[in-house]
Structure 1
Amino acid sequence: MPIDENLASYSDLGFKSAIVIYALVWIMLVWQFALTRTVPTTTRELVTAGGGSEPVAEPPAPNVPGKVEPRGAGRPFSERLGNMGFAVLFVGFGVHVASIVLRGFATHRFPLGNMFEFISMACAAAVLLGLILLNDQRYRGMWSFLLTPVLILLFLAGTKLHVDAAPVVPALKSYWLPIHVTVISIGSGVFLVSGIASLLFLFRIWQPAGAEADNIWGQLARRLPDAQLLDRLAYRTTIIGFPIFGSGVILGAIWAEAAWGRFWGWDPKETCSFIAWVLYAAYLHARATSGWRDTKAAWINIAGFVAMLFNLFIINIVVSGLHSYAGLN
């Protein structure tokens, strides 16, 4: 069937509009983040062997360590600003999803046939998971950091990786496309949230103590959620993403057997996906192992996130293989 050019143009417009809305939300949430200050406290945060954090035993203070409050009379404004940004985020997500759906209707296929469409779907999955898990005020300070990679990925997808709406290559004309690639893209979006949480966790526990806490890095770190909350978020999201991504790898092997007559051939993308899956398995194992539950486990989680990015960009663009369907000229 011919491509519906009108729907394709509306899809591209929706994609660009989503980027603009996300950028507006990012500005509002960064503004709110900047208006907050850490509550003065005589306690400091320690990371326990279990990967969490707890205050050093000292006399109780009227304020909770790590809690953030707006400066002076600016509190009502910053709260309204953050709430408004979070509300607009729903609008941006709706426009983003609409652009994906319109792309599918315009091409008369499932919209996951190239890197542009894959990144758009993965970012939508990351934002959706954030809307579900990060709607608590305790995580509000994390949103500006989560939207940063989302905006970067969407910008790259819309500029360097964008391709016009078109039918997929013959090798992708299979009912396995919407099953396998959808599961992989959702898992990738979940791992994006997990990776950012681990990065912020490491930054949070390295917060300077004492007089050094007054420098810009210490102030920035104390505006983030508590290290324990960030570590739990990374763990929870990896638990969600690990079986999803693993199922995607298995479904891909089944599709490979139907298309190429073998389940596994150590193609570069297959190999890198397997490495990423093993790293996330190692992270979950480390979180259950005494002595590995804090910074060591977080570094493993970040290594898995780096492997995902390497698989997405380097393997798809630079390395030639059976999975070279980036859609780029």
Structure 2
Amino acid sequence: MSALSDQLVTFATLAYLVAMICHAVEYALGNARAVAPAARELVGAGVGGAGDLVDAPAGPIAPPARVGRSAQRARLAGLVAVGITVLAAALHLAATVTRGIAADRMPWGNMYEFVLTVSFIGTAAWLGVLWKRPSLRRLGLFLTLVMVLLLAFAELKLFVEVVPLMPALKSYWFIVHVSTISFSSGIFLLGAVPAIAFLMRNGYEQGKRSFPYTLAKRLPAAAGLERLTFTLHAFAFPIFTFAVIAGAIWAEAAWGRPWGWDPKETWAFISWVVYAGYLHARATPSMRRNVATWLAILGFLTMLMNLFGVNFFFTGLHSYAGVD
């Protein structure tokens, strides 16, 4: 089972890579919307709204037949990318489950297993969002890129052989605390994707021609991306809060104190404060949406620091990374 899990992780990584390439093909083929010459003339005459003026393509107009074929190919590439992402998610889930079967426990005993679980939750949540809102399909390019990087890093740098659970982790609070922290971390991981996409698209809609211009002009509308960012974070934050509280209760039972400013505890608190600041800023009418979104991204960076930085560079009571 352990060897099968390792192979499935490799296949899942390759599947995510192929899905990412298909999404890139969709971007390369251009906008899936064909703009008729008559509509372009109306927009140029000032009949369309401000959003039409922003989205109107520049330069000579391609023949309608050619634009239509390009749009169809782009849509096909996007649909193929989604199908391969579903396959990758199935392989990803199978790899995580077989790892748990091999270890005869929940597969959260070290950093490698935790990354597998969190990244799968992010993918599963993305597929759920995509089921409800197919128009967001192009965000899959960023999601699959993140999955490729995380799984490749886990395989190359975090991998450890299957070992029994450490005695300090043998508690029912292990399931309660780690399951909720994994779930909320996976949703925060997904939430960072529309947050970054929003900043790119928002800059484009404001007329900025920065480096990601080609990507930004093909992303969904900024307002929808910003709402999705808020929805995901508002959903994950209470679960993350409960996970921190459960960890404190477990620490009281295991170490005789609920909080000791251990590096993991400290960075969890920092993440909680930053995400709370984001939600507060998002609820403040006078706060600009792009400023609030930067707080969401900062929160995700603190989560990465808690996952990777603390385990690699600090020593504490939570040193269960399992990395030599």
Distance verdict in 2 for CA 1:227–1:173, change over 3 Å: same
Give the 3 Å change call, closer, same or farther, for CA 168–301 of structure 1 in structure 2. same
Q: Can you give the 5+ residue segments of structure 1 that lack an aligned partner in the other structure?
A: 1-6, 43-57
Letter of the 1:12 partner, please give it: D
Q: What does residue 47 of structure 2 align with?
A: 59
Counterpart amino acid of 2:47?
P
| Superposed CA offset, 1:50-103 (max 9, x none) | xxxxxxxx6326x96659999442222222221122112111111111111111
| 1:146 to 1:72, Cα distance in 2 relative to 1, 3 A | same
- The alignment yields a C-alpha RMSD, in angstroms, of 2.4
Residues 112 and 209 of structure 1: CA distance in aligned 2, closer, same or farther (over 3 Å): closer
CA 1:227/1:205 → structure 2, altered by over 3 Å: closer, same or farther? same
Question: Is the 2:192–2:297 contact (alpha carbons within 8 Å) kept by the matching residues of 1?
Answer: yes
Q: Does 1:115 align with 2:103?
A: no
Q: Partner residue of 1:55?
A: none
Counterpart position of 1:274: 269
The equivalences for 1:66-145 within 5 A come to 66=55, 71-135=67-131, 136-145=133-142
Q: Does 1:323 align with 2:318?
A: yes
Q: Does the CA-based 8 Å contact 1:110-1:177 persist in structure 2? A: no
Of 289, 306, 320, the match for 2:284: 289
For 2:60, the equivalent position in structure 1 comes to none
Moved more, 289-298 or 313-322: 289-298
* Match of residue 204 from structure 2: 207
Match 2:174 to one of 160, 167, 177: 177
| Alignment correspondent of 1:18 | 12
The total of aligned residue pairs comes to 306
Q: State which drifts further: 253-262 or 72-81.
A: 72-81
> 1:34 and 2:28 equivalent?
yes
Give distance in 1, aligned partners of 2:205 and 2:7.
45
Runs (4+) off by over 6 Å: 38-42, 67-70
Aligned partners of 1:66 and 1:225 also within 8 Å = no
Relative to the length of structure 1, the TM-score reads: 0.87
TM-score, normalised with respect to structure 2: 0.88
CA contact (8 A) 1:66 1:223 kept: no
**Identical residues among aligned pairs (%):** 39
The counterpart of 2:229, out of the listed 234, 237, 244, is 234
- 1:294, CA displacement in angstroms? 0.8
Secondary structure at the aligned position of 1:194 is classed as: helix
Task: Say if 2:248 is the partner of 1:253.
Answer: yes
Report the Cα distance in structure 2 between the residues aligned to 1:282 and 1:216, rounded to whole angstroms: 29
Cα pair 2:311 2:321 within 8 Å, conserved? yes
Structure 1 position 216, deviation (Å): 6.6
- CA, structure 1 residues 103+222, in 2 after alignment: closer, same or farther (shift >3 Å)? same
Which stretches in structure 2 are left out of the alignment for 5+ residues?
41-45, 58-63
Q: CA deviation at 1:112?
A: 0.1
CA contact (8 A) 2:23 2:141 kept: yes
Letter of the aligned partner of 2:323 in structure 1? Answer: L
Q: Could you tell me which amino acid in structure 2 is paired with residue 302 of structure 1?
A: I
Q: Distance in 1 between matches of 2:28 and 2:252?
A: 53
Instruction: State whether residues 39 and 66 of structure 1, in contact with CA within 8 Å, keep that contact through their aligned partners in structure 2.
Output: no
1:194 maps to which of 184, 191, 196: 191
- Higher relative contact order (CA closer than 8 Å, sequence separation 6+): 1
Whether contact under 8 Å (1:39, 1:67) holds in the other structure is no
